[in-house]
Structure 1
Amino acid sequence: MKRTWLRLRQISQGFWFIPAVMTLLALVLAEAGISAEETYGVPDGLTFVYGGGETGSRSLLSAIAGSSIGVAGTVFSITIAALSYAAGSMGPRLLDNFTRDRGNQLTLGTFIATFAFALYTLRTVTGSEDQPFVPHYNVTFALVLAIVSVAMLVYYLAHVTGSINMTHVANLLRDDMRDALMRATLKEEPGQDLAVAPPPEFWAGGEVLHAPRSGYLQLTDNDLLLRRAEEADVALLLHVRPGDYVFPNSVIAVGVPRLPADVIDALTLGDRRTVGQDLEYSVRQLSEVAARALSPGVNDPVTAIDIIDRFGDALCSLQDRRWPDGVYHVDHVVRLVVPVTDFVGLAKSMFSMIRQYGKGSPSVMVRMLEVFSITASCLKDAERRAVIRWHAELVREDALANIENSADRADIEARYRELLDTLANGQAAEVLKAAEHTVQQTQGNRAN
């Protein structure tokens, strides 16, 4: 079922889907208007309905059809130009964000639907003396569509200009990344212990599943895998997670003592990575924008700094969230173990590429250390703060090795010391909190 919904979502997000639906709807409305006029005619009280004859209606419909398809070609050309700019400056993987944009789809669909409506209606206009026919309802509605098309053209010009703005793109990608993070993590609950996966020896000698073909793992139906493992009374270990490229004949699962039936049905492979369960894909889209901005041909450190700010935003939002352990039990028996993205992998995907490409840019390195300090003050978990410190040490090392100006090097050192102070204050606060908790427990025991 999840695979079906994934395919339906991919189809509905296609650039052609909304224009196709609007065109079909326009043809249905055109036929309905013609049938209504043939059956009931036009009441005298409807003064707003077009009242011209055959020649006027034919000219009007021809003008609407010709102009709408002409403007549709212009809109399509502008869209292609915007896509070319986006691919060149932000990366080809961002093209999906532009083709999925509902504003672009609705604009193109409006013009094509107007053309189809006017052309379909035009064929019914007859001027014979025996039985002349003018579809007054349809001509009136075609005029309304023409006015709507003009409004959509004005909207489109403003929309496409804003959609290729780098800040707008960064915010869209940030929202996608934040939604993916919220889906991938769970609300932190006090006193909750993480489940522990069986040791590697447990899986030794199990039945191995090899990949039947290659492709990116787009979706894993964990509910189906858990149900199949419980029905077969086995334990199942997956070696791949959404976003991984699966090579043909590579090991993707192990079952102990055997594999459950139809494991491959719960794994959806495709030719490209998709936003959804693949958390790191949303992160890598932003990282690629920053890496391209730091290339010598573009040399746009401001964009890279904007991306770093978005990453800090995302990490701070995880303060009260925990990562799933990937271990599923049924009646206290391990049935399924799946690999999951953790904080270490997330931070590496965010900052490693930017650090490697921006190590010679003082402004980028300084901002990374500043964001690390802010993030360290937001995060309370000691392991996560250790990850932040590790990345800060890498940034400091690369920056000092590639930046020669003494003032810039002093800025790097100052920001790094600020980070260390922030981390030290956080550790002191944790120690104080633990001591207070111990004192409260001791006083409670004495009272009892």
Structure 2
Amino acid sequence: MLSKWQWLVKQLTRTLWVRALLFSLLAIASALLSVLLDPFIPEGLAGIIGADAVDHILDILAGSMLAVTTFSLTVMVSAYSAATSSVTPRATRLLMQDTTSQNVLSTFLGSFLFSLVGIVALSAGVYGPRGRVVLFVVSLVVIGLVVLALLRWISHLTHFGRVGDTTERVETATANALDYWRRCPAMGGQVLLNPKSTIPTCATPVYADCVAYVEHLDVGQLDECAEKFGCTVYVDAVAGAFVHPRTPLLWVDVTPGSALIQAMRAAYTLAPERSFDQDPRFGLCVLAEIASRALSPAVNDPGTAIDVLGRGARVLISFFAPVTPSDTVQHARVWVPPLALDDMLNDFFTPISRDGAGMIEVQVRVQKVLHALSCNVPASARAAVRKHAQLAFERATHALTLQSDKQALLHLHRRLFG
């Protein structure tokens, strides 16, 4: 599990400006490296390889890369707008974290800065004949990188920002979050199955200090605080929870002082929006939003909703795949509630079965997906699956207009669930 600071660094590396800054610094360093390597280049080599042409090469790079960078930024903004209008605004963050588009744009920007610094240095007379040789060779390498980036960018643009591409990104993010919870049901702490009987009656709550969502929780930091203050921590709000100043983030079995409260709050990262990393329910909600938008009268695309149902089945079934979790509790002083299957089913199936209640093809797929889930979840969880299958069937019964559709769905529901 990533600590709070490791997670913050990871979030920082996902941003475009950090990657662009690194590429730009590398490009500037490459342009200035020619000055340092000047003494190691043999005399007369400049005339042999035609290093005098470097001025024209840098002029072409500077002019073309500025235009290509501007065009690429326009394409990226258009892809974000398309995802917002045709998929869901909540999925735009995943597009903004796309490493391919960030690397390509950073390569273009770095090439522009490389050529610009080279032109300025040449005009100032910094490079001698031997320095021009190094600059010429580096320019050829940069041209090769630009060509590879352009080819990769052309291939990437064929699907970047499309409904299928964005939906796949949401599915992957959800599956990763669910896999984390599958391998570590209590985030390294002890599993809090029954809060009413486990949390002592004398426990004191530690409240949030703002209105926000829990974006990340550092259980390791909570365990260090618990050891420092000699207490046990019972987590109430995990990633994805909506909190306000009267919401308990957690409970402690001692009377908390201001130092303990601040230390416990510091383990939480609160933000105005939810994040995919530790919050698989958010991913399921976003998948349901994609399906709901596709089922709206303005879009009328039940095929996308059916595709989303298949993706939801894939990630939920994978959550119950056999795994060998760590038997060692890493943070014995911290109790964390596990994910509840009923909550995840409600997040995913309720919006889809409601908005697609009048479409027989969607309702048939809902019943089949829920049946697939019932065959792959533990026996203790099958009641929740059957409940949602019954709710979806009742919604469809009230919305479907043709009696033949109702009878067909009734026969399917009875055959699958008895």
TM range, smaller chain: 0.7 to 0.9
Change over 3 Å in CA distance of 1:88–1:20 after alignment to 2: same
Cα pair 2:43 2:130 within 8 Å, conserved = no
Please say if 1:241 is aligned against 2:238.
yes
Aligned equivalents of 1:302, 1:352: Cα separation in 2 = 18
Q: In the alignment, which of 326, 336, 339 is matched to residue 338 of structure 1?
A: 336
1:311 maps to: 312
In structure 2, give the amino acid aligned to 1:360. Answer: G
Please say if 1:51 is aligned against 2:50.
yes
2:376 maps to: 378
Q: Which runs of 5+ in 2 are unaligned?
A: none
1:217-254 Cα distance to aligned partner (Å, 9 max, x none): 12222233234334434333332111112213533233
Change over 3 Å in CA distance of 1:34–1:384 after alignment to 2: same
Please say if 1:26 is aligned against 2:23.
no
Change over 3 Å in CA distance of 1:15–1:194 after alignment to 2: closer
SS in structure 2 of the partner of residue 305 of structure 1: helix
SS in structure 2 of the partner of residue 370 of structure 1: helix
In structure 1, give the amino acid aligned to 2:249. Answer: I
Please say if 1:302 is aligned against 2:303.
yes
In structure 2, give the amino acid aligned to 1:410. Answer: Q
Please say if 1:103 is aligned against 2:110.
no
Cα pair 2:95 2:166 within 8 Å, conserved = no
Per mean C-alpha deviation after superposition, the further-off stretch among 112-121 and 338-347 is: 338-347
Change over 3 Å in CA distance of 1:302–1:257 after alignment to 2: same
Please say if 1:391 is aligned against 2:388.
yes
Aligned residues: CA RMSD: 2.9
Aligned equivalents of 1:400, 1:317: Cα separation in 2 = 31
2:176 maps to: 179
How far did residue 321 of structure 1 move?
5.1
In structure 2, give the amino acid aligned to 1:365. Answer: Q
How far did residue 195 of structure 1 move?
6.7
2:63 maps to: 66
2:351 maps to: 353
1:8-50 Cα distance to aligned partner (Å, 9 max, x none): 011100022222111110111111123212x233455789x84
Please say if 1:363 is aligned against 2:361.
yes
1:17 maps to: 18
How far did residue 273 of structure 1 move?
1.5
Aligned equivalents of 1:360, 1:323: Cα separation in 2 = 42
Aligned equivalents of 1:202, 1:114: Cα separation in 2 = 59
How far did residue 302 of structure 1 move?
0.7
Cα pair 2:175 2:280 within 8 Å, conserved = no
1:209 maps to: 206
In structure 2, give the amino acid aligned to 1:374. Answer: A
SS in structure 2 of the partner of residue 16 of structure 1: helix
SS in structure 1 of the partner of residue 213 of structure 2: strand
Q: Which runs of 5+ in 1 are unaligned?
A: 422-448
Cα pair 1:33 1:135 within 8 Å, conserved = yes
Q: Which has the larger radius of gyration?
A: 1
1:3 maps to: 4
1:91-126 Cα distance to aligned partner (Å, 9 max, x none): 111111111111101111111111111111111225
Q: In the alignment, which of 150, 166, 173 is matched to residue 163 of structure 2?
A: 166
1:437 maps to: none
TM-score, normalization by structure 1 = 0.82
In structure 2, give the amino acid aligned to 1:25. Answer: L
SS in structure 2 of the partner of residue 344 of structure 1: helix
Per mean C-alpha deviation after superposition, the further-off stretch among 135-144 and 398-407 is: 135-144
| TM superposition outliers: structure 1 runs of 4+ over 6 Å | 131-134
1:119-142 Cα distance to aligned partner (Å, 9 max, x none): 1111122598xx878623213322
TM-score, normalization by structure 2 = 0.87
Per mean C-alpha deviation after superposition, the further-off stretch among 26-35 and 236-245 is: 236-245
Aligned equivalents of 1:162, 1:345: Cα separation in 2 = 33
The count of aligned residue pairs is: 404
In structure 2, give the amino acid aligned to 1:115. Answer: F
Change over 3 Å in CA distance of 1:127–1:265 after alignment to 2: closer
Identical positions, percent: 23
How far did residue 59 of structure 1 move?
2.6
Cα pair 2:54 2:135 within 8 Å, conserved = no
Cα pair 1:126 1:133 within 8 Å, conserved = no
Change over 3 Å in CA distance of 1:107–1:198 after alignment to 2: closer
Name which structure has the greater RCO, CA cutoff 8 Å, separation 6+.
2
Aligned equivalents of 1:403, 1:221: Cα separation in 2 = 48
Cα pair 1:86 1:95 within 8 Å, conserved = yes
1:282 maps to: 283
How far did residue 198 of structure 1 move?
5.8
Please say if 1:229 is aligned against 2:230.
no
Aligned equivalents of 1:235, 1:165: Cα separation in 2 = 48
How far did residue 369 of structure 1 move?
0.6
1:439 maps to: none
Aligned equivalents of 2:193, 2:286: Cα separation in 1 = 32
SS in structure 1 of the partner of residue 27 of structure 2: helix
1:265 maps to: 266
Aligned equivalents of 1:293, 1:342: Cα separation in 2 = 27
Change over 3 Å in CA distance of 1:382–1:323 after alignment to 2: farther
Cα pair 2:212 2:272 within 8 Å, conserved = yes
Aligned equivalents of 1:78, 1:115: Cα separation in 2 = 18
Aligned equivalents of 2:339, 2:55: Cα separation in 1 = 62
